[in-house]
Amino acid sequence: MSFAFDFLVFKLNCWRQAAKSIVNECNRDVTPTIGYPLKMGRSKHNKPKSHSHPPSDPKVNFPDADGWTPLMNACARESLQSVQNLIAAGADVNKADADGFGPMMSACVEGRTDVVLFLIAHGAKVDALDAVGRTPLMWAVTKGDFDKTAKALISAGADINRRDTNGFTPLMRAALMNHVRCFDLLLRSGADTAPVNAHWQKTALEMAIERGSDELRKLAGSVRSEQGRR
């Protein structure tokens, strides 16, 4: 049992070191294949305890050593009830860490649509920006094929054509991550296929056709063919 636990800790530490390297690389971010804050890399077997703060508890917005507030932790790993309790106690739905990564983003990287909807209903900014210009929508379509989460954001007015500081749109990110459902959702929601990424010198459709799965290439190819007939 001890050996198994030690091995798990060893693997987790290796993963965290790799994630830290990826996060450092994201400052250059030449592709959207990037990690997210190291805090998110912890094992689900080490979930934080549920937060239960009394109303107006001044500690409810205090960040931990990683810069994460209790609400950010809850949005990533805890129950919706924990999120509700924290907000009822005065948690700031838009308070982010030093890199601009906040509660909405921590929910989006896990595809937690119920939490995202609750945050939106309580004033969370759907187009909040992190240090390299990524929005919650960008995180949702990058970290997983979270089309339901992305749809909730789009329905709330998220900018589907916004570019981050490296010129990637949500559609480009979905293409490069081979997230077919999100790619299709963005297209159906009116995402602009014309922008060209300055580094890659390609559009989202070109990225999908050159790097995607058969399903993604077929989808992107049909859109391009339709555009050619107009």
Who's near 228: CB < 8 A, 6+ residues apart? none
Give CA–CA dist 58/44, Å, rounded.
Answer: 28
pLDDT single digits (tens) 3-35: 444 444 444 444 444 334 333 433 334 344 334
Give CA–CA dist 59/43, Å, rounded.
Answer: 25
pLDDT single digits (tens) 116-171: 999 999 999 999 999 999 999 999 999 999 999 999 999 999 999 999 999 999 99
Domains of the chain: 50-228 (1.25.40.20)
Give CA–CA dist 114/69, Å, rounded.
Answer: 19
Give CA–CA dist 149/143, Å, rounded.
Answer: 11
Q: Where are the alpha helices (DSSP H) in 53-156?
A: 70-77, 80-88, 103-108, 113-121, 136-143, 147-155
